[in-house]
Every structure is written in structure tokens, then in C-alpha cells.
């Protein structure tokens, strides 16, 4: 990650002494960085820009720098690093108090060397994700499914809060591309005759969606996939599994909040998560079953092909993800709320009465299961391998 450190230093302090303590302090933290010292020309041009407050008496110097910080740093928080020597913590607290009074965001980074190093790595990942999302283009192919009554998204809000551009694309455009896309047998195979017959059509959907994403320069998309059941008598499950594994984040049912959740999760962790419905909740044990008929192939150790659950046609995916730590994540349609809890995938299930990929997840805090029955954010949530709650909390604090 690209981390730059700038400095604030009072002229009253001995320059050689300050230089020596700086080398000792930054060396003990052990974070790779670009040391810009008092030259703020490149401020805002790195993944993470940190102001190392080296001494007290720097509040006035900070005020002089503030217009440059705001102009070059945009709406990013101002991070103040301090060792605590030479009244530097007191100056940092005064600066942070001023920022709060002005409605600006900031944080003082102070503590043990281990804490500071961990905090800088986390903040660098968050700021890198924010910068990455400002270049992100997402497509909504067809309208959101009719049953997503709590999931309407205002594209202007998404652009303002995340920098993400949303583009509405008529599903007829996809169908037109499919008209000129031949059916070809994909690499995936099945011995079940109805699935084997459906595979060329499912692959055609994948090829057409991939072309659509390329034409519109999309980093991700969500599709009103149930329309494909009647339009082409097939499903988009295979297409979404393949696209997500190739770097195009692909979601189901035109669910834009779920797509945003997947995109944020990928920007933070590098992993495209599993969009799924909660199918069963046990608030006593904190165990939940999540299920859906597609999952990125990149997430699974193995998979089986089946039909789409609700319709019994096309190609669905039963994926088996590695058991272990996971994070359950979801943002609300207006980005004002989010849910992020850590747990463990304890079993990949194969029950016949729900969508094909099924995961039994036990939350680390069983009481958090009550959220699904009292204040859920829609039905789809995203399962990401690994524990990432703190990273998500830092990101969502924007």
C-alpha cells in the first residue's frame, strides 16, 4: 500500500534532536512509507496520507496548511500521528478538536508501536478502497426484481457517498447481444441430461453478459435474472459465478444494495463475496443458514451443477466453500446503515428444499442473530471469507 508521512514541527525545537527521534519512532513502527517531511505538494496523492505531529506548538502551522489539505485531500479524514514526545499529543488533540468544530473528520493515531502499525495498515486499506471505488462503474441490467421493495437506490446518493457510478441498462440490450451469440459448450460439464442440455444456453448468457460489461466498461453488474427464465428458458447462475471469478462483480435479481455490498467488500479485502438469502435463523445459538443458486467459482473448493431451485430449469451452482472464519456484511439502500458480524462457516449443506449453495454459519456473537428478525437490511447479505468487521467498521464510518 502507498503510505505517505508529512510532518508538523515547531521551530522552537532542536532540528537534529527532532530528526533523530523521528527516525527512531518511525523505525520502531516498521511501516513502509514515503517520507515527505514538511513538503505537502503530494498530500492527497497517496492511498493514505498521514500528518506526523512531532512537537507541540504546531496548531498554528496546521491552520496554515489546512486549505491545502482540504483542496488536495478531498473529503478524506485527516490522520494525525503522534509519538507523545515534546507535547505532540496535546497539539494533536487540539487540532482534532478544531477539525470536529469545523465539521471535518479526523483521527489521532497514538499508542504502542504494535497498535500504531496495525492501525495504519487498516486505514491504508480503507483509504485505498475509497480511492478505488471512485473509479467504479456498475450496471443494473433490467429493473430490480419486483419483490425487492426495500432496496431502491438513489444513484446520486451512491455517487456522492462512494463515488460509484450506476448505469441502468435495459435487459433488451442483453437479449439483443444474445441473439448474435452462438451457443457453445462451456468447460463445465454434467452427467445429468437436463443440465447438460442447458449448459450451452447458460454459457451464451455468460458470453453476452461479459460482452455487455466490456461495452459499458463495467466493474460490476446486477441483473434481473428471473426475466431470463421466460425470455430464454435458462438462468444467469453460471454466468454470474464465472464473471465474479474473472473480476467483474456480478449479483442477482437486480439487487443494487447487495451489489454495492459486494463491491465494497472486494475493495477492502480483494474477495468477491457470496450473495445469499438467510433461509433459517436460530437466535438461541446464533446459527444461520444462507443459500443461493450461484456463488463465485473463485470462492469454492469444489462445486456441483444442478438446476435453478425455484424454477427447476437452467443451471444452478452448488458450491462448497472452505469451512472457517467468515464475515456477514450488508449495506442499506441509502447507505445510512450497515450490518457486519463475524462468524464461522461450520458446514456446507445440500438440502433439497432451498437454493443450491447452502452455508451454515455460526456467529461469534449469537445475540447478533436477532438483527435478522428485528431490523434486517433487506433479504440478501454477502458472505466474505475471513474476519473483516473492524476493516468494514472503519470504512463505513465515512
Cα atoms in the Cβ-side hemisphere of radius 13 Å centred on 118: 7
What is the reported pLDDT for 212?
Answer: 98
Average confidence (pLDDT) over 42-59: 95
Share of residues in the chain with pLDDT > 90 (%): 86
The C-alpha atoms of residue 52 and residue 79 are separated, in whole angstroms, by 8
361, 344 Cβ separation under 8 angstroms:
yes
The C-alpha atoms of residue 291 and residue 194 are separated, in whole angstroms, by 22
Taking the CB of residue 210, how many other CB atoms lie within 10 A of it? 18
Binning pLDDT at 50, 70 and 90, where does residue 398 land? confident
Average confidence (pLDDT) over 251-268: 97
- pLDDT at residue 18 greater than cutoff 90: no
- Grid cell for residue 136: 467504479
Average confidence (pLDDT) over 295-322: 94
The label of the residue with cell 458446514 reads 347
Using alpha carbons, list the distances in angstroms from residue 175 to 139, 228, 244: 15, 9, 20
SS3 at position 360: strand
Binning pLDDT at 50, 70 and 90, where does residue 319 land? very high
What domains does the chain contain, in order, with CATH numbers? 3-133 (3.40.50.10940), 137-396 (no CATH)
344, 325 Cβ separation under 8 angstroms:
yes
The C-alpha atoms of residue 284 and residue 373 are separated, in whole angstroms, by 12
Angle at alpha carbon of residue 389, lines to 384 and 391, rounded to 5°: 100
SS3 at position 48: strand
Cα atoms in the Cβ-side hemisphere of radius 13 Å centred on 271: 18
* Burial degree of 198 (CB within 10 A; 0-12, 13-18, 19+): buried
Summarize pLDDT for 335-373 with one digit per residue, the tens. 999 999 999 999 999 998 899 999 999 999 999 999 999
Average confidence (pLDDT) over 157-170: 96
> Tell me, what DSSP letter sits at residue 283?
T
Cα atoms in the Cβ-side hemisphere of radius 13 Å centred on 221: 34
What is the reported pLDDT for 363?
Answer: 98
Average confidence (pLDDT) over 17-22: 89
- Grid cell for residue 167: 448505469
Mean pLDDT over each residue of the chain, to the nearest integer: 95
Summarize pLDDT for 260-275 with one digit per residue, the tens. 999 999 999 999 999 9
- pLDDT at residue 310 greater than cutoff 90: no
Considering the entire predicted model, what is its pTM? 0.92
Using alpha carbons, list the distances in angstroms from residue 141 to 18, 79, 218, 258, 370: 58, 39, 11, 14, 33
- pLDDT at residue 95 greater than cutoff 80: yes
Summarize pLDDT for 222-245 with one digit per residue, the tens. 999 888 888 899 999 999 999 999
Angle at which helices 256-269 and 389-396 cross, to 10°: 110
Strand order in the sheet with 220-223: 165-169, 137-141, 220-223, 249-252
Report the relative pairing of strands 249-252 and 287-292 from DSSP bridges: unpaired
SS3 at position 295: coil
Binning pLDDT at 50, 70 and 90, where does residue 75 land? confident
Summarize pLDDT for 36-47 with one digit per residue, the tens. 999 999 999 999
Binning pLDDT at 50, 70 and 90, where does residue 17 land? confident
Binning pLDDT at 50, 70 and 90, where does residue 381 land? very high
E strands, the chain, are 3-8, 34-37, 48-53, 78-81, 106-109, 137-141, 165-169, 220-223, 249-252, 274-282, 287-292, 300-306, 316-321, 324-331, 338-349, 357-363, 381-385
Summarize pLDDT for 105-116 with one digit per residue, the tens. 999 999 999 999
The C-alpha atoms of residue 265 and residue 121 are separated, in whole angstroms, by 17
- pLDDT at residue 94 greater than cutoff 80: yes
Phi, psi torsion values for 57, nearest 5 degrees: 70, 20
CA 43 to chain centre: 25
- Grid cell for residue 306: 444442478
SS3 at position 178: helix
The C-alpha atoms of residue 62 and residue 73 are separated, in whole angstroms, by 14
What is the reported pLDDT for 250?
Answer: 98
- pLDDT at residue 312 greater than cutoff 90: no
Amino acid at each position: 500500500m502507498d503510505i505517505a508521512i508529512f510532518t508538523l514541527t515547531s521551530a522552537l525545537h532542536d532540528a537534529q534532536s527532532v530528526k533523530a527521534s523521528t527516525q527512531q519512532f518511525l523505525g520502531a513502527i516498521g511501516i513502509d512509507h514515503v517520507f515527505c517531511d514538511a513538503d505537502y505538494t503530494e498530500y492527497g496523492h497517496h492511498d493514505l496520507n498521514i500528518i506526523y505531529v512531532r512537537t507541540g506548538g504546531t496548531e498554528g502551522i496546521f491552520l496554515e496548511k489546512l486549505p491545502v489539505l482540504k483542496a488536495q485531500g478531498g473529503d478524506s479524514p485527516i490522520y494525525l500521528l503522534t509519538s507523545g514526545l515534546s507535547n505532540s499529543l496535546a497539539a494533536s488533540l487540539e487540532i482534532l478538536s478544531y477539525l470536529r468544530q469545523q465539521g471535518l473528520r479526523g483521527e489521532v493515531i497514538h499508542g504502542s508501536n504494535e497498535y500504531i502499525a496495525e492501525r495504519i495498515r487498516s486505514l491504508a486499506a480503507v483509504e485505498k478502497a475509497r480511492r478505488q471505488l471512485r473509479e467504479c462503474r456498475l450496471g443494473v441490467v433490467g429493473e430490480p426484481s419486483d419483490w425487492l421493495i426495500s432496496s431502491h437506490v438513489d444513484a446520486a446518493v451512491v455517487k456522492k457517498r462512494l463515488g460509484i457510478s450506476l448505469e441502468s441498462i435495459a435487459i433488451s440490450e442483453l437479449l439483443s447481444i444474445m441473439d448474435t451469440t452462438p451457443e457453445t459448450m462451456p468447460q463445465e460439464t454434467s452427467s445429468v441430461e437436463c443440465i447438460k442440455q442447458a449448459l450451452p444456453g447458460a454459457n451464451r448468457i455468460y458470453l453476452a453478459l461479459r460482452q455487455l460489461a466490456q461495452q459499458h466498461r463495467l466493474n460490476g453488474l446486477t441483473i434481473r435474472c428471473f426475466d431470463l427464465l421466460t425470455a430464454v428458458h435458462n438462468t444467469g447462475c453460471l454466468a454470474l459465478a464465472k464473471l465474479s471469478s474473472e473480476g467483474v462483480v456480478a449479483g442477482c435479481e437486480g439487487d443494487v444494495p447487495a451489489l454495492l455490498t459486494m463491491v465494497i467488500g472486494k475493495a477492502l479485502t480483494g474477495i468477491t463475496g457470496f450473495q445469499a438469502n438467510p433461509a433459517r435463523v436460530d437466535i438461541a445459538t446464533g446459527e444461520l443458514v444462507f443459500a443461493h443458486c450461484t456463488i463465485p467459482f473463485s470462492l469454492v473448493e469444489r462445486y456441483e451443477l444442478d438446476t435453478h431451485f425455484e424454477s427447476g430449469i437452467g443451471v444452478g451452482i452448488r458450491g462448497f466453500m472452505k469451512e472457517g472464519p467468515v464475515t456477514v456484511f450488508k449495506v442499506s439502500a441509502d447507505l445510512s446503515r450497515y450490518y457486519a458480524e463475524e462468524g464461522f462457516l461450520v458446514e456446507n449443506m445440500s438440502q433439497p428444499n432451498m437454493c443450491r449453495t447452502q452455508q451454515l454459519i455460526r456467529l461469534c456473537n449469537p445475540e447478533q442473530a436477532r438483527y435478522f428478525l428485528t431490523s434486517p437490511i433487506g433479504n440478501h447479505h454477502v458472505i466474505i471469507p475471513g474476519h473483516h468487521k473492524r476493516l468494514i467498521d472503519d470504512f463505513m464510518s465515512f
